[in-house]
Amino acid sequence: MSAPAAAADPAGRPAPTIEARGRRVDAGGHGPDGAAGTPGTPRAPERENRRTVIIVAAAVVLLVLAALALGRGGQSRSDLPLAPNNPEPGGARAAAQILGEHGVDVTLVRRTADVLAQDQADTTLVIVGADELSSDQLTALADTQAEVVLLGLGYASITELTSTVTVTAGGARAPRSSDCADPDAEAAGTIDTAGPGITGSGAVQTCFALGEDAGAYAVWEESGRTWRALPNGFPATNEGLALEGNAALVLRALGQHEQLLWYVPDPNDPFTLDDDASAPQTFFLPEAVVYQILVVALAVVIWRGRRLGRVVVEPLPVVVRAAETTRGRGRLYRRAGAHAHAGAALRAGTLARVGSRIGLPSAAGPDQVIDALARATGRSPGELEHLLYGPPPTDDDSLVALTQALDTMESEVHRA
Protein backbone atom coordinates (compact mmCIF):
# COMPACT_ATOMS: atom_id res chain seq x y z
CA MET A 1 0.00 0.00 0.00
CA SER A 2 1.40 3.40 -0.93
CA ALA A 3 1.99 6.10 1.62
CA PRO A 4 -1.00 8.41 2.30
CA ALA A 5 -1.04 11.54 0.23
CA ALA A 6 -0.58 14.95 1.76
CA ALA A 7 -3.70 16.77 2.93
CA ALA A 8 -5.39 18.83 0.21
CA ASP A 9 -7.69 21.81 0.28
CA PRO A 10 -11.24 21.71 -1.22
CA ALA A 11 -9.87 22.83 -4.62
CA GLY A 12 -7.69 19.77 -4.76
CA ARG A 13 -4.42 21.60 -4.16
CA PRO A 14 -2.00 20.09 -1.62
CA ALA A 15 -1.65 21.95 1.66
CA PRO A 16 1.42 24.17 1.97
CA THR A 17 4.32 22.77 3.94
CA ILE A 18 7.02 24.34 6.13
CA GLU A 19 10.40 23.14 7.22
CA ALA A 20 10.67 22.87 11.05
CA ARG A 21 14.17 22.06 12.38
CA GLY A 22 14.97 19.67 9.53
CA ARG A 23 11.49 17.99 9.69
CA ARG A 24 8.90 18.56 7.03
CA VAL A 25 5.53 19.48 8.56
CA ASP A 26 2.42 20.53 6.69
CA ALA A 27 0.30 23.52 7.64
CA GLY A 28 -2.21 21.24 9.38
CA GLY A 29 0.39 20.14 11.92
CA HIS A 30 1.04 16.74 10.34
CA GLY A 31 4.46 15.20 9.91
CA PRO A 32 5.76 13.36 6.89
CA ASP A 33 3.84 10.24 7.94
CA GLY A 34 0.58 12.14 8.39
CA ALA A 35 0.66 11.89 12.20
CA ALA A 36 -0.23 14.91 14.24
CA GLY A 37 2.63 16.90 15.74
CA THR A 38 3.59 16.59 19.40
CA PRO A 39 3.43 20.06 20.90
CA GLY A 40 4.34 18.67 24.33
CA THR A 41 7.87 17.69 23.22
CA PRO A 42 10.50 19.79 25.09
CA ARG A 43 12.10 22.45 22.99
CA ALA A 44 15.86 22.66 22.50
CA PRO A 45 16.53 25.25 25.28
CA GLU A 46 14.56 23.13 27.76
CA ARG A 47 16.48 20.01 26.78
CA GLU A 48 19.73 21.94 27.11
CA ASN A 49 18.80 23.20 30.59
CA ARG A 50 17.76 19.72 31.68
CA ARG A 51 21.04 18.28 30.42
CA THR A 52 22.99 20.99 32.27
CA VAL A 53 21.18 20.23 35.54
CA ILE A 54 21.93 16.51 35.18
CA ILE A 55 25.62 17.17 34.47
CA VAL A 56 25.95 19.59 37.40
CA ALA A 57 24.16 17.17 39.76
CA ALA A 58 26.47 14.33 38.73
CA ALA A 59 29.50 16.58 39.20
CA VAL A 60 28.31 17.59 42.68
CA VAL A 61 27.85 13.96 43.70
CA LEU A 62 31.32 13.03 42.45
CA LEU A 63 32.94 16.01 44.13
CA VAL A 64 31.19 15.32 47.44
CA LEU A 65 32.39 11.72 47.33
CA ALA A 66 35.91 12.94 46.59
CA ALA A 67 35.66 15.42 49.47
CA LEU A 68 34.54 12.68 51.84
CA ALA A 69 37.44 10.48 50.79
CA LEU A 70 39.86 13.38 51.12
CA GLY A 71 38.47 14.39 54.50
CA ARG A 72 38.62 10.87 55.88
CA GLY A 73 42.10 10.41 54.46
CA GLY A 74 43.24 13.60 56.17
CA GLN A 75 41.78 12.46 59.52
CA SER A 76 43.27 8.94 59.34
CA ARG A 77 46.85 10.20 59.41
CA SER A 78 48.71 12.80 61.42
CA ASP A 79 52.25 13.77 62.33
CA LEU A 80 51.61 14.29 66.05
CA PRO A 81 54.16 12.57 68.31
CA LEU A 82 52.75 9.48 70.06
CA ALA A 83 49.41 9.90 68.26
CA PRO A 84 47.49 6.67 67.49
CA ASN A 85 47.04 7.72 63.84
CA ASN A 86 50.66 8.68 63.17
CA PRO A 87 52.48 6.07 61.03
CA GLU A 88 55.86 7.80 61.35
CA PRO A 89 58.58 6.33 63.62
CA GLY A 90 57.60 8.74 66.41
CA GLY A 91 53.89 7.91 66.15
CA ALA A 92 51.97 5.15 67.89
CA ARG A 93 49.67 3.79 65.19
CA ALA A 94 51.12 0.27 65.46
CA ALA A 95 50.16 0.00 69.15
CA ALA A 96 46.67 1.40 68.44
CA GLN A 97 46.10 -1.06 65.59
CA ILE A 98 47.19 -4.05 67.68
CA LEU A 99 44.91 -2.97 70.51
CA GLY A 100 42.06 -2.57 68.04
CA GLU A 101 42.62 -6.09 66.71
CA HIS A 102 42.27 -7.38 70.29
CA GLY A 103 38.91 -5.72 70.92
CA VAL A 104 39.99 -2.36 72.34
CA ASP A 105 38.06 0.63 70.95
CA VAL A 106 40.72 3.35 70.55
CA THR A 107 39.38 6.92 70.31
CA LEU A 108 41.65 9.88 69.59
CA VAL A 109 40.62 13.10 71.38
CA ARG A 110 42.31 16.50 71.18
CA ARG A 111 40.41 18.66 73.68
CA THR A 112 39.96 18.42 77.42
CA ALA A 113 36.20 19.03 77.20
CA ASP A 114 35.90 16.03 74.84
CA VAL A 115 37.77 13.86 77.33
CA LEU A 116 35.45 14.89 80.14
CA ALA A 117 32.37 14.34 77.98
CA GLN A 118 33.40 10.73 77.25
CA ASP A 119 34.83 9.98 80.69
CA GLN A 120 33.42 6.93 82.47
CA ALA A 121 34.51 4.03 84.62
CA ASP A 122 35.95 0.92 82.97
CA THR A 123 37.87 3.17 80.56
CA THR A 124 41.57 3.77 80.12
CA LEU A 125 42.67 7.36 79.53
CA VAL A 126 46.08 7.89 77.92
CA ILE A 127 47.39 11.43 78.38
CA VAL A 128 50.30 12.35 76.11
CA GLY A 129 52.55 15.12 77.43
CA ALA A 130 50.52 15.91 80.54
CA ASP A 131 53.18 18.38 81.74
CA GLU A 132 52.30 20.69 78.83
CA LEU A 133 48.70 21.16 80.00
CA SER A 134 47.46 24.22 81.88
CA SER A 135 46.58 24.15 85.57
CA ASP A 136 42.86 24.25 84.71
CA GLN A 137 43.19 21.25 82.43
CA LEU A 138 45.22 19.25 84.96
CA THR A 139 42.73 20.02 87.74
CA ALA A 140 39.78 18.94 85.57
CA LEU A 141 41.47 15.70 84.47
CA ALA A 142 42.38 14.80 88.06
CA ASP A 143 38.70 14.06 88.74
CA THR A 144 38.13 11.64 85.86
CA GLN A 145 36.75 8.15 86.55
CA ALA A 146 39.00 6.38 84.05
CA GLU A 147 42.28 4.67 84.82
CA VAL A 148 45.09 6.96 83.70
CA VAL A 149 48.27 6.23 81.73
CA LEU A 150 50.72 9.13 81.54
CA LEU A 151 52.72 8.74 78.33
CA GLY A 152 55.70 10.96 77.61
CA LEU A 153 56.44 13.41 80.41
CA GLY A 154 58.76 16.38 80.74
CA TYR A 155 60.08 18.00 83.88
CA ALA A 156 57.27 20.54 84.40
CA SER A 157 55.04 20.13 87.43
CA ILE A 158 51.87 18.02 87.23
CA THR A 159 50.89 18.36 90.89
CA GLU A 160 47.35 19.54 89.97
CA LEU A 161 46.88 16.18 88.25
CA THR A 162 48.77 14.01 90.74
CA SER A 163 51.30 14.79 93.43
CA THR A 164 52.22 11.16 93.98
CA VAL A 165 55.05 10.95 91.43
CA THR A 166 57.86 13.20 90.26
CA VAL A 167 59.80 13.15 87.00
CA THR A 168 63.57 13.01 87.41
CA ALA A 169 66.62 12.66 85.20
CA GLY A 170 67.50 9.27 83.76
CA GLY A 171 70.13 7.40 81.84
CA ALA A 172 70.79 6.72 78.17
CA ARG A 173 68.76 4.29 76.12
CA ALA A 174 69.51 0.64 76.92
CA PRO A 175 67.73 -2.62 77.77
CA ARG A 176 66.51 -2.52 81.37
CA SER A 177 65.08 -5.32 83.53
CA SER A 178 61.81 -4.96 85.40
CA ASP A 179 63.08 -5.59 88.98
CA CYS A 180 59.58 -5.13 90.45
CA ALA A 181 56.49 -7.16 91.33
CA ASP A 182 54.06 -5.49 88.91
CA PRO A 183 52.49 -8.19 86.67
CA ASP A 184 52.71 -6.08 83.51
CA ALA A 185 56.36 -5.26 84.10
CA GLU A 186 57.16 -8.90 84.90
CA ALA A 187 55.43 -9.99 81.68
CA ALA A 188 57.61 -7.58 79.72
CA GLY A 189 60.79 -8.75 81.45
CA THR A 190 63.11 -6.25 79.76
CA ILE A 191 62.32 -3.05 77.87
CA ASP A 192 64.48 -0.83 75.68
CA THR A 193 64.14 2.78 76.85
CA ALA A 194 65.92 5.82 78.29
CA GLY A 195 65.31 8.70 80.68
CA PRO A 196 63.64 10.66 82.05
CA GLY A 197 62.84 8.56 85.07
CA ILE A 198 60.04 8.68 87.60
CA THR A 199 59.99 8.41 91.39
CA GLY A 200 57.11 8.26 93.82
CA SER A 201 56.07 8.18 97.41
CA GLY A 202 53.94 5.71 99.30
CA ALA A 203 52.79 2.62 97.40
CA VAL A 204 54.24 3.66 94.05
CA GLN A 205 56.07 0.80 92.29
CA THR A 206 58.88 1.91 90.04
CA CYS A 207 60.21 -0.60 87.52
CA PHE A 208 63.07 -0.78 85.00
CA ALA A 209 65.56 1.12 87.11
CA LEU A 210 67.25 4.22 85.71
CA GLY A 211 69.05 5.18 88.91
CA GLU A 212 68.93 4.73 92.65
CA ASP A 213 65.23 5.48 93.10
CA ALA A 214 64.02 6.34 89.59
CA GLY A 215 62.47 3.90 87.14
CA ALA A 216 61.30 4.00 83.53
CA TYR A 217 57.79 2.89 84.54
CA ALA A 218 55.60 3.44 87.58
CA VAL A 219 52.23 2.11 88.76
CA TRP A 220 50.20 3.16 91.79
CA GLU A 221 46.67 3.44 93.21
CA GLU A 222 45.11 6.85 93.69
CA SER A 223 41.49 7.88 94.37
CA GLY A 224 40.34 4.30 93.78
CA ARG A 225 41.93 4.16 90.31
CA THR A 226 45.08 2.61 88.92
CA TRP A 227 47.60 5.08 87.53
CA ARG A 228 50.53 4.20 85.29
CA ALA A 229 53.32 6.36 83.94
CA LEU A 230 55.82 5.84 81.13
CA PRO A 231 57.78 9.12 81.18
CA ASN A 232 59.72 8.25 78.04
CA GLY A 233 57.18 7.36 75.35
CA PHE A 234 59.73 5.57 73.13
CA PRO A 235 58.50 2.02 73.97
CA ALA A 236 55.04 2.95 72.63
CA THR A 237 56.29 4.40 69.35
CA ASN A 238 56.22 2.58 66.03
CA GLU A 239 60.01 2.47 66.16
CA GLY A 240 60.35 1.16 69.70
CA LEU A 241 57.35 -1.16 70.04
CA ALA A 242 59.12 -4.20 68.57
CA LEU A 243 62.23 -3.90 70.76
CA GLU A 244 62.76 -6.18 73.78
CA GLY A 245 59.55 -6.42 75.86
CA ASN A 246 58.26 -2.96 74.93
CA ALA A 247 55.14 -4.29 73.20
CA ALA A 248 54.19 -6.49 76.15
CA LEU A 249 54.41 -3.61 78.63
CA VAL A 250 52.66 -1.04 76.43
CA LEU A 251 49.82 -3.27 75.25
CA ARG A 252 49.11 -4.59 78.75
CA ALA A 253 49.18 -1.09 80.28
CA LEU A 254 46.92 0.43 77.62
CA GLY A 255 44.65 -2.57 77.08
CA GLN A 256 43.16 -2.91 80.56
CA HIS A 257 39.65 -1.97 79.33
CA GLU A 258 37.68 -2.22 76.11
CA GLN A 259 37.42 1.59 75.86
CA LEU A 260 40.63 3.59 75.41
CA LEU A 261 40.62 7.39 75.17
CA TRP A 262 43.93 8.51 73.64
CA TYR A 263 44.32 12.19 74.53
CA VAL A 264 46.85 14.13 72.45
CA PRO A 265 46.37 17.74 73.66
CA ASP A 266 45.64 20.49 71.19
CA PRO A 267 47.83 23.52 72.03
CA ASN A 268 44.96 25.82 70.96
CA ASP A 269 42.43 24.21 73.31
CA PRO A 270 40.59 27.13 75.03
CA PHE A 271 39.47 25.00 78.02
CA THR A 272 39.11 26.68 81.43
CA LEU A 273 37.31 25.62 84.58
CA ASP A 274 34.65 28.28 83.86
CA ASP A 275 33.60 26.44 80.70
CA ASP A 276 30.87 23.83 80.67
CA ALA A 277 32.92 20.64 80.96
CA SER A 278 30.21 18.51 79.39
CA ALA A 279 30.73 19.85 75.86
CA PRO A 280 33.21 21.99 73.92
CA GLN A 281 32.28 25.65 73.76
CA THR A 282 33.78 26.23 70.32
CA PHE A 283 31.59 25.28 67.38
CA PHE A 284 33.65 22.90 65.30
CA LEU A 285 32.88 21.48 61.89
CA PRO A 286 34.58 18.27 60.83
CA GLU A 287 37.06 18.73 58.05
CA ALA A 288 35.06 16.52 55.67
CA VAL A 289 31.96 18.71 56.15
CA VAL A 290 33.99 21.84 55.35
CA TYR A 291 35.21 20.21 52.13
CA GLN A 292 31.64 19.32 51.17
CA ILE A 293 30.37 22.85 51.79
CA LEU A 294 33.14 24.32 49.63
CA VAL A 295 32.50 21.83 46.83
CA VAL A 296 28.74 22.43 46.83
CA ALA A 297 29.27 26.21 46.84
CA LEU A 298 31.61 25.92 43.86
CA ALA A 299 29.12 23.73 42.01
CA VAL A 300 26.32 26.25 42.60
CA VAL A 301 28.50 29.07 41.32
CA ILE A 302 29.31 27.09 38.17
CA TRP A 303 25.67 26.10 37.70
CA ARG A 304 24.02 29.47 38.27
CA GLY A 305 26.88 31.70 37.16
CA ARG A 306 26.72 33.71 33.95
CA ARG A 307 27.64 31.69 30.89
CA LEU A 308 28.58 33.14 27.51
CA GLY A 309 27.30 30.12 25.60
CA ARG A 310 28.68 28.63 22.46
CA VAL A 311 30.81 30.59 20.04
CA VAL A 312 28.66 31.75 17.13
CA VAL A 313 30.28 32.46 13.77
CA GLU A 314 28.58 35.32 11.95
CA PRO A 315 29.38 36.58 8.45
CA LEU A 316 31.09 39.95 8.30
CA PRO A 317 28.82 42.70 6.97
CA VAL A 318 31.42 43.84 4.41
CA VAL A 319 34.46 42.16 2.89
CA VAL A 320 37.11 44.70 1.89
CA ARG A 321 40.04 43.73 -0.29
CA ALA A 322 43.55 44.53 0.85
CA ALA A 323 44.24 46.64 -2.25
CA GLU A 324 41.24 48.84 -1.49
CA THR A 325 42.34 49.45 2.08
CA THR A 326 45.84 50.35 0.87
CA ARG A 327 44.47 52.86 -1.64
CA GLY A 328 42.10 54.27 0.97
CA ARG A 329 44.93 54.77 3.45
CA GLY A 330 47.03 56.44 0.74
CA ARG A 331 44.24 58.87 -0.06
CA LEU A 332 43.93 59.74 3.63
CA TYR A 333 47.68 60.39 3.83
CA ARG A 334 47.53 62.58 0.69
CA ARG A 335 44.50 64.52 1.93
CA ALA A 336 46.26 65.22 5.25
CA GLY A 337 49.59 66.02 3.58
CA ALA A 338 51.27 63.38 5.77
CA HIS A 339 54.24 62.80 3.47
CA ALA A 340 56.61 62.08 6.35
CA HIS A 341 54.24 59.55 7.91
CA ALA A 342 53.72 57.81 4.59
CA GLY A 343 57.47 57.70 4.00
CA ALA A 344 58.06 56.17 7.42
CA ALA A 345 55.43 53.50 6.71
CA LEU A 346 57.08 52.67 3.35
CA ARG A 347 60.53 52.37 4.93
CA ALA A 348 59.20 50.19 7.79
CA GLY A 349 57.41 47.86 5.40
CA THR A 350 60.48 47.53 3.19
CA LEU A 351 62.74 46.80 6.17
CA ALA A 352 60.34 44.12 7.43
CA ARG A 353 60.26 42.36 4.06
CA VAL A 354 63.97 42.51 3.22
CA GLY A 355 64.90 41.70 6.82
CA SER A 356 63.00 38.41 6.71
CA ARG A 357 64.54 37.75 3.28
CA ILE A 358 68.16 38.07 4.47
CA GLY A 359 67.56 36.61 7.94
CA LEU A 360 67.79 39.74 10.08
CA PRO A 361 66.19 39.61 13.55
CA SER A 362 63.28 41.94 14.17
CA ALA A 363 65.27 43.76 16.87
CA ALA A 364 68.27 44.48 14.60
CA GLY A 365 69.70 48.00 14.87
CA PRO A 366 70.39 50.39 11.97
CA ASP A 367 74.10 49.52 11.76
CA GLN A 368 73.36 45.78 11.55
CA VAL A 369 70.67 46.39 8.90
CA ILE A 370 72.93 48.58 6.76
CA ASP A 371 75.87 46.14 6.91
CA ALA A 372 73.64 43.19 5.92
CA LEU A 373 72.00 45.10 3.05
CA ALA A 374 75.36 46.36 1.81
CA ARG A 375 76.54 42.77 1.47
CA ALA A 376 73.29 41.72 -0.18
CA THR A 377 73.00 44.57 -2.73
CA GLY A 378 76.59 45.75 -3.22
CA ARG A 379 75.60 49.31 -2.36
CA SER A 380 77.64 51.58 -0.13
CA PRO A 381 76.61 51.92 3.53
CA GLY A 382 76.20 55.69 3.15
CA GLU A 383 73.73 55.30 0.28
CA LEU A 384 71.67 52.74 2.21
CA GLU A 385 71.68 54.87 5.35
CA HIS A 386 70.34 57.86 3.40
CA LEU A 387 67.69 55.69 1.72
CA LEU A 388 66.43 53.93 4.85
CA TYR A 389 67.12 56.44 7.62
CA GLY A 390 67.49 59.74 5.77
CA PRO A 391 65.24 62.80 5.97
CA PRO A 392 61.52 62.19 5.40
CA PRO A 393 59.83 63.26 2.13
CA THR A 394 58.13 66.65 2.14
CA ASP A 395 56.00 66.54 -1.03
CA ASP A 396 54.50 64.15 -3.57
CA ASP A 397 57.57 64.12 -5.83
CA SER A 398 59.99 63.22 -3.03
CA LEU A 399 57.56 60.55 -1.75
CA VAL A 400 57.32 58.98 -5.22
CA ALA A 401 61.11 59.09 -5.58
CA LEU A 402 61.54 57.39 -2.20
CA THR A 403 59.01 54.71 -3.17
CA GLN A 404 60.82 53.96 -6.41
CA ALA A 405 64.24 53.85 -4.70
CA LEU A 406 62.95 51.46 -2.01
CA ASP A 407 61.36 49.22 -4.63
CA THR A 408 64.62 49.09 -6.62
CA MET A 409 66.65 48.24 -3.54
CA GLU A 410 64.18 45.51 -2.54
CA SER A 411 64.36 43.96 -6.01
CA GLU A 412 68.16 43.88 -5.69
CA VAL A 413 67.82 41.96 -2.44
CA HIS A 414 65.54 39.42 -4.10
CA ARG A 415 68.03 38.92 -6.93
CA ALA A 416 70.91 38.40 -4.52
SS3 sequence of the chain: CCCCCCCECCCCCECCEEEECCEEEECCCECCCCCECCCCCCCHHHHHHHHHHHHHHHHHHHHHHHHHHHHHHHHCCCCCCCCCCCCCCCCCHHHHHHHHHCCCEEEEECCHHHHHHHCCCCEEEEEECHHHCCHHHHHHHCCCCCEEEEECCCCCCCCCCCCCEEEECCCCCEEEECCCCCHHHHHHCEEEECCCEEEECCCCEEEEECCCCCEEEEEEEECCEEEEEECCCHHHCCCCCCCCCHHHHHHHHHCCCCEEEEECCCCCCCCCCCCCCCCCCCCCCCHHHHHHHHHHHHHHHHHHCCCCCCCCCCCCCCCCCHHHHHHHHHHHHHHHCCHHHHHHHHHHHHHHHHHHHHCCCCCCCHHHHHHHHHHHHCCCHHHHHHHHHCCCCCCHHHHHHHHHHHHHHHHHHHHC
pLDDT, tens only, 101-147 = 999 999 999 999 999 999 998 999 999 999 999 999 999 999 899 99
Tell me the per-residue pLDDT of 183-192, one tens digit each, with 9 for 90 and over.
999 999 999 9
Query: From 3.40.50, 2.60.120, 3.30.1360, 3.30.1490, which CATH number describes the 78-289 domain?
Result: 3.40.50
Domain coordinates in residue numbering, the chain: 78-289, 322-415
**pLDDT tens sequence across 11-62:** 444 444 434 334 444 444 444 444 444 444 445 666 766 777 777 777 767 7
Q: Is pLDDT above 90 for 262?
A: yes
Residue range 168-226, pLDDT digits in tens: 988 889 999 998 999 999 999 999 999 899 998 878 999 999 877 889 999 999 888 99
pLDDT at 318: 75
Q: What is the pTM of this model?
A: 0.54
